Amino acid sequence: MDEALLRSLTPSVLTVLVRRGADFAAAEDAVQDALVEAVRVWPTDPPRDAKGWLVTVAWRKFLDAARADTARRRREDLVDEEPAPGPAPAVDDTLQLYFLCAHPSLTPSSAVALTLRAVGGLTTRQIAQAYLVPEATMAQRISRAKRTVSGVRFDRPGDVATVLRVLYLVFNEGYSGDVDLSAEAIRLTRQLAAAIDHPEVAGLLALMLLHHARRAARTAPDGSLVPLAEQDRGRWDTRAIAEGVEILQAALARDRLGEFQAQAAVAALHADAPTAEETDWVQIVEWYDELTRLTDSPVVRLNRAVAVGEADGPRAGLAALAELDDSLPRYTAVAAYLHERAGDLATAARLYAEAAKKATDTLERDHLTRRAARLNTRLRH
């Protein structure tokens, strides 16, 4: 059984049903039933046209449910409209499904869950495991999301920026349970890039590949966090880096700069440096200036302060940091790092300890605690 094939066909089959008149929630249920049937039948009787088989079975599942639901009489009119079995249409409306799952009426968490279910083809159990929540909780979240978008028609252009933010949220969840969400986000973004010619889609794909290329070096054998400057660059995935850089260069050549392209440019400069000491921090600051212009994001300004500290010295970095709100996430950790670079070890140790208390991620908290302990040991000797 080719699970990857089933998952790749899921969004296009779902879209066919919705275009035939099924509401989203009922169509999604029917597609899931068809996938279960495929797992049962295909190993001994594989179809010649996998998509056509799924469309036919899913449509019949939908009609069976419609007939059984006497409270929804209007669906009975669809019974006589069942298309004859045959090859599935070549048109792929998967792009519209991305837009539907990233509908502005959904919360970010609901949009992510619905995208993983409807476009990614993951089961509710897999999504729940990935987000470390009970399966019943995730089922309710997905059901609410499906009800929300059931009345939305495929007749208006979607918002690419919203779709990209949802996919980036998926990517940043990383790995948990038996689902690698970073790899899943890359797969879905590749699919989106094949469906739409947009430089920011390419920029996001490049960014994901460049970040994912460093994954193996991000943690030590004991599971502790390894900062970028201390990572073993020999463990970076050079093929992923080369692909990411190539995709980014093609996107930048179109001269329609967006925030994901700019973020990918920063990641590419890190990937291009043979050692941490050879990083082109001056160019990185310039790209953060572009990002600030594009987004005016406080988080971007925080990262820019770090880059300024590397390019122009820690005192310049602290001056840039002083312009920001000290309640920003990671503000205290950045201040600690810059004070350490400036030689003020006592202040740095205190700030690392404060940052550790504020950290919500276990790995980051442990890392900051170790930094504080290391500096306090140096101060005592």
103-146: pLDDT as tens digits:
888 888 888 888 888 888 788 888 888 777 899 999 999 999 98
Among 226, 250, 279, the domain-final residue is 279
What is the reported pLDDT for 173?
A: 78
What is the reported pLDDT for 88?
A: 42
What is the reported pLDDT for 80?
A: 46
* Three state DSSP letters for the chain: CCHHHHHHHHHHHHHHHHHHCCCHHHHHHHHHHHHHHHHHHCCCCCCCCHHHHHHHHHHHHHHHHHHHCCCCHHHHHHHHHCCCCCCCCCCCCHHHHHHHHCCCCCCHHHHHHHHHHHHCCCCHHHHHHHCCCCHHHHHHHHHHHHHHHCCCCCCCCCCHHHHHHHHHHHHHCCEECCEEHHHHHHHHHHHHHHHCCCHHHHHHHHHHHHHHCCHHHCECCCCCECCHHHCCHHHCCHHHHHHHHHHHHHHHCCCCCCHHHHHHHHHHHHHHCCCHHHCCHHHHHHHHHHHHHHHCCHHHHHHHHHHHHHHHCHHHHHHHHHCCCCCCCCHHHHHHHHHHHCCCHHHHHHHHHHHHHHCCCHHHHHHHHHHHHHHHHHHHC
Among 262, 279, 296, the domain-final residue is 279
- 181 domain residue, yes or no: yes
For residues 77 and 104, state if they share a domain: no
Number of domains forming the structure of the chain: 3
What is the reported pLDDT for 240?
A: 97
- 369 domain residue, yes or no: no
For residues 4 and 80, state if they share a domain: yes
For residues 191 and 99, state if they share a domain: yes
For residues 73 and 114, state if they share a domain: no
For residues 187 and 159, state if they share a domain: yes
For residues 16 and 62, state if they share a domain: yes
For residues 87 and 101, state if they share a domain: no
Collect the ranges in the chain with pLDDT lower than 50: 71-72, 75-76, 79-92
- 320 domain residue, yes or no: no
Among 230, 261, 279, the domain-final residue is 279
Q: What is the pTM of this model?
A: 0.80
- 31 domain residue, yes or no: yes
For residues 166 and 140, state if they share a domain: yes
> Domain of 238?
198-279
For residues 56 and 145, state if they share a domain: no
- 75 domain residue, yes or no: yes
What is the reported pLDDT for 172?
A: 85
- 370 domain residue, yes or no: no
For residues 103 and 173, state if they share a domain: yes
For residues 136 and 207, state if they share a domain: no
For residues 61 and 42, state if they share a domain: yes
